Structure 1
Amino acid sequence: MTDPGRAVVDEQSFTVRRSIHIAAAPEAVWRAVTEPELISRWFGAAELDGRGPGAAGTLSWPGNPPIPFRVEAVDAPRSISYRWSNDDAASSTVDEARSTVFTFTLEPVDGGTRLTVVETGFETTSDPTLTMEQHRQGWDSELDELVELVTR
C-alpha cells in the first residue's frame, strides 16, 4: 500500500513538503534517492562526481538546460540533502544566491518506508510564490514516479 499524500506549500517558512508511505524497504528507497542511475529513472537525468557531501553534478530534463546540484549532507541511510540552482541559473556550479535545498528523510515503518521531502530557501528565488507552486507540483509528479519505480 502506498499513501499518495500531496505536497504542501508553507509561504511563511518558504518551504515545500511532502510525506508519503511507500510499500518498499528503506534500502530500496535509499538507493532511489542517492544513486544517480536510479535518480535518472524517476526524477531528472542525474550526473554526480561522487557520493558524499560536496559531490556535484547536474540534473537534466528534455528541452531544458542542465541544472547544477550538489550533495549538502548525508546521514545514511536516514537522510540526504541536495542544493540546486533556481531561476534558470546558467552557471555550471550551484548558484549560492539563487538556490534551494531539498532533503529526503527516510523512516522505516510497518509495511515499508515513510519518505519526506522538504525543500527550503525559496525566499532566495526571484518569485518565491511561483517557484514554490512549481516545485510543489513537481514533487507531486516526481515522487509518484519514485513510488512506481521502487514498488515494481
Structure 2
Amino acid sequence: MTQSRTESREHGPIVRDIQVDASPEVVFEVVSKPEHVREWWPDDAGFESVAGALGELVWRNTETGETTTVLMSVVEVDAPRRFSFRWCFQGEDRDRDSLLVTFDLTPSAGGTLLRMTETGWREMGWEVAVLEEHYQDHVDGWNHYIPRLGEYVARLVATP
C-alpha cells in the first residue's frame, strides 16, 4: 500500500492517492457503503449509495463525549469507478455551498489505485482564518483516515 498527497496553500483540492491490494469492486464497497465507511472514517454513517440520497456522518469525541453530525448528499455512484458526495453544507445551495469529495478507483498493479479529491474550498465563502482552520483540519483528517481505509481493506480481504 502506497500513499501520496497533494495540496496547495492556495486552498485548492486536497488529493490523496493510495494503492490497495484489492479489486476496484471491493474498494468501491469500502468507500460507498455505510457499514464499511464507519470502519475506517466516522464513528457512524447513514446514507444510501444512490445519487441524490441524503445522509449523515457522525464523529464522537471519546474525551469530551461530544458528538458531531455532518450532513451529506450523494452526488455520483458509478460502480466500481467513482463515488462522490457533498458535505459541510453552508447554505441552501448544496451544489455551491459545500465541499465535494470524490473517490476515483482505477485498476492498478493487481489491485486498485484510489484517488480521493476534496474540492470547493474557495467557493465556501469563509473568512481567511476560518478557511485556513478548516482546510488544515481536513488535510490532517485525510492524512489520518486514508491510511486507515487501506488498513481496513487489507483486513477485509484477508478475512476468509
Q: Same fold (TM over 0.5)?
A: yes
- Report the counterpart of residue 136 of structure 1 in structure 2: 139
Q: CA deviation at 1:23?
A: 1.5
Alpha-carbon separation, structure 1, partners of 2:56 and 2:34: 10
| Structure 1 residue 110, shift from structure 2 partner | 1.2
Give runs of ≥4 in structure 1 deviating > 3 Å.
93-98
1:24 corresponds in structure 2 to 22
Conserved? CA contact 1:9–1:132, under 8 Å: no
Shift of 1:13: 6.0
Larger Rg: 2
Which residue does the alignment assign to 1:8? 6
RMSD: 2.1
Give the drift of 1:20. 1.1
Among 57, 67, 79, the alignment partner of 1:76 is 79
SS in 2 for 1:74: strand
How far apart are 1:30 and its partner, in Å? 0.6
User: What's the secondary structure of 1:14's corresponding residue?
Assistant: coil
Does 1:146 pair with 2:145? no
Distance 1:151 1:94 in 2: 38
CA contact (8 A) 1:104 1:116 kept: yes
Structure 2: stretches of 5+ with no match in the other structure: 61-65, 156-160
Q: How many residues align?
A: 145
1:92-150 per-residue CA deviation (whole Å, 9 max, x = no partner) reads x8866641000000000113110001100112152222222211111111111111111
Amino acid at match of 1:99: S
CA shift, 1:64, in A, is 2.9
Distance in 2, Cα, partners of 1:142 & 1:38: 13
SS in 1 for 2:22: coil
Whole-Å separation in 2 of the counterparts to 1:23 and 1:65: 32
TM-score (norm 1): 0.85
Sequence identity (%): 30
Inter-partner Cα distance in structure 2 for 1:64 and 1:15: 27
Q: TM-score, normalised by structure 2?
A: 0.81
